[in-house]
Amino acid sequence: MHAFRAAVEAGDADAIEALLAEDVVFTSPAVFKPYTGKAITAAILRGVVRVFEDFRYVREINDTGGRDHALVFTARVGDKQVTGCDFLSVNEDGLIDDFMVMVRPLSGLQALAEAMGAQFDRILADAETGSA
């Protein structure tokens, strides 16, 4: 997951998007129903890059087969410090086909959900146009 981690840490939205499978399933910590597809997942991740401050990965866990990965991170949303984990699975082409995020504490998740909700119209527009 070095390429994904490097792209996220560099804030390179195009490189992040290039690592997503067309049929990627993104599971948000804040909504019940997963999002399916590269365009909406990339748009959500661009939104997250805008919302998170002081983001950094602090730990990486990989399975021995190389398909499943967990990237533990810390970040700030406004005045709330959060800890989270990106759970990623890759397909046979090495592209991310499953992306689930967990975030704690609850107050940080609530701040994240509010910040993302405030820009969700922009996220949907970005998904339709494929732009940042």
All residue ranges of the chain with pLDDT < 70 are: 1, 131-132
pLDDT at 75: 96
Top CATH class of 2-127 equals alpha beta
**Domain range list for the chain:** 2-127
pLDDT at 11: 87
Find the distance separating the first CA and the last CA of the chain, reported in whole Å: 23
Distances (CA, A) of 9 to 2, 74, 75, 101: 10, 12, 12, 16
Neighbouring CB atoms inside 10 A of 106's CB total: 8
pLDDT at 88: 97
pLDDT at 118: 93
**pTM (2 d.p.):** 0.91
Mention every residue, 6+ apart, whose C-beta is less than 8 A from residue 88. Answer: 1, 4, 68, 69, 70, 71, 96, 98, 99
User: Which tens digit of pLDDT belongs to each residue from 67-94?
Assistant: 999 999 999 999 999 999 999 999 999 9
Only one residue has tokens 């609850």, namely 106
